[in-house]
């Protein structure tokens, strides 16, 4: 079985939605294996734009979508998203969307504690979306989460909510925020049960069956390696493991089932929220990248910080994430720039290093060391073959390959799904 796992190789927002959508035409099943509705994928299909947060991107292709147990699921957000895409003409229901029965749920108290803690941090904010993702993962690890399967046992929900509220109401009260009443939460969960339970199943069994039937599975990651809770720029990270290895634990398959790992990276770098960003630009070039790349968060609407391509960062993500091939997106955004820069190392207190350190203080001191390359005046927008690219653009891509130590197997030249140069098919193994 030739499966593929797609992960971000920077700080997220690399254009995974388009790549997943494009590859979904070759897949039978698309699986979300981590994150929550804090991550967004934008898919442009003709004159229709789909903005997905929880739904696997494969639903746009009519494929079976699975939300794995590694996701934290906000029921109201999911139902709202299903309703929205149905309004755009997509057919989504239990026949083509399955949810792991053991997926943890995000309850109204989770965003409340998320926002209260961010407010208490003042200028030291992490930059969370305030959607309760982190607190929901905390509850999962602390063994007090309400899971989808619990909705089938209303008699046990009361006791579970007692433990949950003992923890969260104490924190909310200490932060000066409003607390929650158990009955209101219980009534809400009971009302959600008939809407959500038809989607629930032991998805590990379905994936095992897919393996035996030689079905192709596409594992869709959210965020990116540098936002991984272990391997990213901690504490300015998400609350889950975003590396491809988590596709196994987050969906219920063995490590052998992950298949080829494809990393997604922009031809430059962006980041949303707080945290270190060595190659960030505060000049007209940075502004131009943001405007031409339409750099606003799919979920938050926040403007993304923009900077030059950081080869050290992506090389680190390639090694940690197990990336075997790179999909380079938004090459066309660089059109018209006479000079391009790639970060090849950092100067930290006079010492040259080739990786971003784990310590926050050292990350803040990292000054980029740049290699300057010639830009191009011709347009790369919509190119579908190497022959349509300027020689200097090809040189830029080839230099990235050398520096990150991974081949560019796919090149995206516009938001349109077919404006893609395929070097090698990841499903070929």
Which tens digit of pLDDT belongs to each residue from 292-318? 998 876 666 678 999 999 999 999 999
**C-alpha pair distances (Å), 257 with each of 6, 221, 246:** 13, 15, 12
The residues that bridge with 410 in the sheet, in sequence order, are 327, 422
The reported pLDDT for the residue numbered 222 is: 87
Written as six digits, the tokens of 314 are 């992506």
419 part of the active site: no
Q: What is the mean pLDDT of residues 11-20?
A: 84
Over residues 327-367, the pLDDT tens digits come to: 999 999 999 999 999 999 999 999 999 999 999 999 999 99
**C-alpha pair distances (Å), 392 with each of 269, 315, 331, 379:** 19, 22, 12, 12
**C-alpha pair distances (Å), 352 with each of 346, 361, 369:** 6, 16, 8
Phi–psi pair at 413, nearest 5 degrees: -120, 10
The reported pLDDT for the residue numbered 39 is: 67
Confidence band of 429 (pLDDT split at 50, 70, 90): low
37 part of the active site: no
User: Is residue 391 reached through a cis peptide bond, with omega within 30 degrees of 0 on the bond before it?
Assistant: no
Q: What is the chain's Cα-based Rg?
A: 22
The residues that bridge with 340 in the sheet, in sequence order, are 373
Q: What is the mean pLDDT of residues 221-236?
A: 93
Confidence band of 23 (pLDDT split at 50, 70, 90): confident
Domains and CATH numbers, the chain: 4-100+199-260 (3.40.440.10), 109-196 (1.10.300.10), 265-428 (3.90.170.10)
The reported pLDDT for the residue numbered 19 is: 84
Tell me the pLDDT of the chain averaged across its residues: 92
Residue written as token pair 């007209």: 284
Instruction: State the catalytic residue, choosing from 37, 41, 168, 231.
Output: 41
Among residues 70, 45, 36, which one has the least CA distance to residue 55? 36
Evaluate if residue 44 carries a pLDDT over 90: no
Q: What is the mean pLDDT of residues 175-202?
A: 96
The residues that bridge with 5 in the sheet, in sequence order, are 219, 261
Residue written as token pair 């095992």: 208
Phi–psi pair at 146, nearest 5 degrees: -90, 125
The reported pLDDT for the residue numbered 319 is: 97
């Amino acid at each position: 079985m030739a499966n593929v796992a797609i992960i971000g190789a920077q700080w997220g927002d690399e254009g995974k939605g388009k790549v997943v959508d494009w590859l979904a035409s070759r897949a039978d099943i698309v699986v979300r294996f981590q994150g929550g509705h804090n991550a967004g994928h934008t898919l442009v299909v003709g004159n229709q734009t789909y903005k997905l947060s929880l739904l696997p991107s494969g639903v746009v292709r009519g494929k079976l979508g699975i939300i794995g147990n590694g996701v934290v699921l906000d029921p109201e957000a999911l139902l709202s998203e299903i309703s929205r895409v149905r309004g755009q003409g997509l057919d989504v229901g239990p026949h083509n969307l399955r949810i792991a029965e053991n997926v943890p749920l995000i309850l109204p108290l989770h965003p409340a504690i998320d926002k209260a803690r961010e407010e208490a941090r003042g200028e030291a904010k992490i930059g969370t979306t305030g959607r309760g993702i982190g607190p929901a993962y905390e509850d999962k690890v602390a063994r007090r989460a309400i899971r989808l399967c619990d909705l089938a046992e209303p008699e046990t929900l009361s006791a579970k909510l007692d433990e949950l509220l003992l923890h969260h109401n104490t924190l909310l009260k200490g932060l000066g925020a409003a607390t929650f009443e158990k009955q209101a939460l219980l009534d809400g969960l009971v009302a959600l049960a008939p809407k959500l339970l038809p989607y629930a199943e032991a998805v590990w069994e379905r994936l095992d069956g897919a393996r035996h039937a030689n079905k192709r599975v596409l594992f869709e990651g959210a965020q990116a390696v540098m936002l991984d809770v272990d391997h990213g720029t901690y504490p300015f990270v998400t609350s889950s493991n975003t590396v491809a290895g988590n596709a196994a634990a987050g969906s219920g398959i063995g490590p052998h089932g992950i298949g080829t790992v494809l990393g997604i990276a922009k031809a430059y770098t962006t980041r949303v929220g707080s945290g270190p960003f060595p190659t960030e630009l505060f000049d007209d070039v940075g502004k131009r990248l943001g405007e031409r790349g339409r750099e606003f968060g799919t979920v938050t609407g926040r403007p993304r910080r923009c900077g030059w391509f950081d080869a050290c960062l992506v090389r680190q993500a390639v090694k940690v994430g197990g990336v075997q091939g790179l999909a380079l997106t938004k090459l066309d955004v660089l059109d018209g720039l006479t000079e391009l820069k790639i970060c090849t190392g950092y100067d930290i207190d006079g010492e040259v290093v080739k990786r971003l350190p784990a310590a926050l203080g050292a990350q803040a001191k990292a000054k980029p060391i740049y290699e300057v390359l010639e830009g191009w005046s011709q347009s790369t927008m919509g190119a579908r073959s190497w022959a349509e690219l300027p020689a200097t653009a090809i040189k830029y891509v080839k230099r990235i390959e050398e520096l990150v130590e991974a081949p560019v197997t796919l090149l995206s030249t516009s938001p349109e799904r077919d404006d893609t140069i395929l070097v090698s098919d990841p499903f070929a193994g």
